């Protein structure tokens, strides 16, 4: 061939352009020529063999060509066959301003559809299970909802088990998750704002709040921070949370997360904002109080006597798990005179034949415990009892009988480990602070322990979550605020919402409600 047809040349040029546009599809508008559009889309999805294309030729008085593109695996082929392809072949479009609108209104039998004019939207939607319909002579395309994914069914989340109460948990589907929330909030004041994050993943993210309760300042701040994120992918809530939370280097999380719809609704009702990320069952909540680490949804479903006690246990557990190894070491290695004589003699007897110094022993045993814990989490469940044999027999019993480890140390490590497991949300900070305090105690005794704990408290009281203090200090003490801290007050006493979260405080309009308009946010 010595010359090419002008049309072919044009298409070759187009392919080059597509390569150039690949990075910024925003500018790539849909052409009015169907062939050009076909070329562009085939070039865009070159080597992507999941894509399916279909050209439909209408013979008749008006000869029309349609082009369908969809991605295999995420579409419902039943819908495509019977409600898109079949009508396109048999029916004639009528009415509408353009051909596409006519098709949507009179031919295609799909509930959700929209018309777009650039390839960016086309690409985003076709990979999410939609079918794209191009029509000859239209510089637009129709996006038809044919989504169909394999989804996990709703089940109780494994890491937030409760004895009684709703057993639903979130799944990986954003719409399913939203449905679980909206079912519990049947009001127009429940707002959901969608945004998209992730250059490549284009993940849908939904911000939920209750309009009349939420603090608008916090909401604005959240939007501001979200806008600054530029990341290639968002697979889970933590991708965002680590980017936008206060005290980003802190070992403590200053944002919350949960897998339970009832928890999310409870938090929304207190004026918090929830963020759902498509593809992740974890839902982000903010602002986050420090005490929320110790709260459980069960607290609100059971007798307040019982749950106040268990909350007290959880708070104690935090201090125990952080300080017990350090305390033991300080007593054993520095301040022996603090122990009652009988206990001192017993401990000394146990330590008599142990070769390692107590400090090294403590560090090793804590590491061993963490290794066991990590193994328990990672290993396949059918080799589970191997771990218990190694853990209980080899380390617990044999090490003590062989006098490699002192028995009191095993007790200390066990107490530390068990209390640590009581508050799973504080896993990360606990490990670091425990070791820090242990090292301080090993070097300076009680003096070090005191300094370590002081550092911990100073750090904790400096934490904020979207500008709201995580730990309310005595300076901003409010009686109504502490009803849900160390104890869980009975519901008839919790008449106000937390003051630092919202200005709309009336939770229950009973006798004890005091609503003041002043700005007392702390």
Count of residues touching another protein (by CB under 8 A): 29
Question: How far is the CA of 29 from the CAs of 97, 118, 122, 127, in angstroms?
Answer: 20, 4, 10, 18
Min dist. Cβ of residue 332 to another protein (A): 5
DSSP bridge partners of 504: none
Question: Using CB under 8 A, which of the segments 39-47, 167-175, 425-433, 440-448 binds another protein?
Answer: 440-448
Min dist. Cβ of residue 140 to another protein (A): 56
Question: How far is the CA of 147 from the CAs of 112, 132, 172, 250, in angstroms?
Answer: 10, 12, 15, 41
Q: Of 326 and 448, which has the nearer Cβ to another protein?
A: 448
Could you say whether residue 345 binds another protein (CB under 8 A)?
A: yes
φ, ψ (nearest 5 deg) of residue 175: -70, -40
Could you say whether residue 128 binds another protein (CB under 8 A)?
A: no
Tokens 């759902």, residue located: 276
Element (H, E) at 256: strand 256-258
Q: Of 354 and 485, which has the nearer Cβ to another protein?
A: 354
DSSP bridge partners of 323: none
- With b for 16 or more beta-carbon neighbours within 10 A and e for fewer, the 74-94 pattern comes to bbbeebbeebbbebbeeeebe
Could you say whether residue 348 binds another protein (CB under 8 A)?
A: yes
Min dist. Cβ of residue 430 to another protein (A): 23
Q: What is the DSSP string of 342-355?
A: HHHHHHHHHHTT--
Residue of 316, 349, 389, 482 that binds another protein (CB under 8 A): 349
Helix/strand/coil for 359: helix
Could you say whether residue 294 binds another protein (CB under 8 A)?
A: no
Question: Using CB under 8 A, which of the segments 56-64, 118-126, 220-228, 351-359 binds another protein?
Answer: 351-359
Residue of 67, 304, 318, 334 that binds another protein (CB under 8 A): 334
Residue of 98, 251, 445, 503 that binds another protein (CB under 8 A): 445
In this structure, are strands 256-258 and 190-197 parallel, antiparallel, or unpaired? Answer: unpaired
Query: Can you tell me the distance from the alpha carbon of 394 to that of 396, in angstroms, rounded to the nearest whole number?
Result: 6
- Residue 355 CA, chain-centre distance (Å), reads 46
Those residues with Cβ within 8 angstroms of residue 61's Cβ, 6 or more apart along the chain or in another chain: none
Q: Of 165 and 445, which has the nearer Cβ to another protein?
A: 445
φ, ψ (nearest 5 deg) of residue 426: -105, 20
Q: What is the chain's alpha carbon radius of gyration, rounded to the nearest angstrom?
A: 31
Helix/strand/coil for 373: helix
Q: Of 97 and 337, which has the nearer Cβ to another protein?
A: 337
Tokens at residue 14, please?
Answer: 């187009």
Query: Can you tell me the distance from the alpha carbon of 438 to that of 382, in angstroms, rounded to the nearest whole number?
Result: 35
The contact mask relative to another protein for 357-396 (x = CB under 8 A, - = no) is: xxx-------------------------------------
Min dist. Cβ of residue 431 to another protein (A): 23
Min dist. Cβ of residue 418 to another protein (A): 24
Residue of 354, 413, 453, 456 that binds another protein (CB under 8 A): 354
Min dist. Cβ of residue 329 to another protein (A): 9
Min dist. Cβ of residue 384 to another protein (A): 32
Per residue, the 3-state secondary structure of 180-224, as one string, reads HHHCCCCCCCEEEEEEEECCCCCEEEEEEEECCCCCHHHHHHHHH
Q: Of 345 and 389, which has the nearer Cβ to another protein?
A: 345
Could you say whether residue 169 binds another protein (CB under 8 A)?
A: no
Min dist. Cβ of residue 402 to another protein (A): 13
The contact mask relative to another protein for 313-332 (x = CB under 8 A, - = no) is: -------------------x
Q: Of 348 and 371, which has the nearer Cβ to another protein?
A: 348
Could you say whether residue 451 binds another protein (CB under 8 A)?
A: yes
Angle in degrees, CA 316, 319, 323, rounded to 5? 140
Could you say whether residue 339 binds another protein (CB under 8 A)?
A: yes
Residues that bind another protein (CB under 8 A): 332-334, 336-337, 339, 341-342, 344-349, 351-354, 357-359, 442-448, 451
């Amino acid at each position: 061939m010595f010359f090419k047809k002008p049309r072919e040349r044009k298409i070759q040029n187009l392919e080059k352009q597509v390569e150039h546009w690949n990075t910024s599809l925003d500018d790539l508008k849909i052409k009015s020529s169907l062939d050009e559009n076909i070329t562009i889309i085939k070039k865009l999805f070159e080597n992507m063999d999941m894509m399916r294309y279909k050209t439909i030729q209408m013979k008749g008085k008006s000869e029309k060509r349609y082009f369908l593109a969809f991605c295999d695996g995420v579409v419902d082929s039943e819908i495509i066959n019977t409600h898109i392809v079949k009508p396109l072949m048999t029916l004639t479009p009528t009415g509408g301003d353009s051909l596409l609108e006519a098709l949507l209104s009179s031919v295609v039998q799909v509930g959700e559809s929209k018309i777009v004019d650039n390839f960016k939207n086309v690409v985003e939607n076709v990979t999410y299970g939609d079918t794209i319909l191009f029509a000859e002579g239209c510089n637009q395309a129709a996006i038809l909802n044919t989504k169909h994914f394999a989804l996990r069914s709703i089940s109780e989340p494994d890491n937030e088990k409760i004895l009684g109460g709703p057993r639903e948990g979130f799944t990986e589907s954003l719409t399913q998750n939203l449905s679980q929330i909206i079912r519990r909030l049947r009001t127009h004041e429940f707002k959901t704002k969608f945004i998209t994050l992730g250059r490549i993943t284009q993940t849908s993210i939904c911000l939920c709040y209750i309009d009349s309760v939420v603090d608008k300042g916090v909401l604005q701040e959240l939007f501001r921070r979200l806008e600054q994120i530029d990341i290639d992918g968002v697979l889970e809530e933590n991708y965002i949370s680590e980017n936008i939370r206060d005290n980003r280097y802190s070992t403590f999380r200053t944002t919350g997360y949960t897998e339970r719809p009832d928890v999310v609704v409870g938090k929304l009702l207190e004026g918090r904002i929830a963020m759902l990320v498509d593809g992740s069952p974890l839902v982000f909540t903010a602002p986050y109080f420090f005490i929320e680490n110790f709260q459980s949804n069960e607290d609100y479903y059971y007798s307040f006597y019982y749950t106040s006690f268990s909350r007290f246990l959880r708070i104690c557990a935090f201090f125990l798990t952080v300080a017990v190894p350090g305390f033991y070491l300080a007593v054993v290695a520095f301040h022996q005179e603090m122990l009652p004589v009988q206990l001192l003699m017993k401990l000394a007897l146990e330590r008599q034949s142990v070769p390692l110094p107590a400090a090294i022993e403590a560090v090793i045993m804590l590491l061993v415990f963490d290794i066991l814990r990590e193994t328990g989490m990672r290993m396949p469940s059918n080799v589970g009892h191997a771990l218990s044999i190694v853990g209980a027999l080899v380390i617990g019993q044999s090490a003590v009988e062989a006098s490699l480890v002192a028995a009191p140390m095993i007790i200390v490590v066990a107490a530390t480990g068990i209390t640590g497991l009581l508050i799973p949300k504080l896993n990360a900070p606990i490990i670091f602070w425990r070791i820090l305090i242990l090292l301080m105690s090993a070097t300076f005794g009680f003096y070090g322990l005191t300094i370590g704990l002081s550092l911990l408290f100073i750090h904790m009281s400096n934490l904020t979550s979207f500008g709201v203090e995580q730990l309310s200090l005595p300076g901003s003490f409010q009686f109504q605020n502490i009803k849900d801290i160390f104890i869980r007050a009975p519901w008839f006493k919790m008449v106000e919402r937390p003051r630092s979260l919202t200005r709309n405080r009336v939770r229950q309009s009973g006798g004890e409600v005091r609503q003041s308009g002043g700005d007392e946010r702390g």
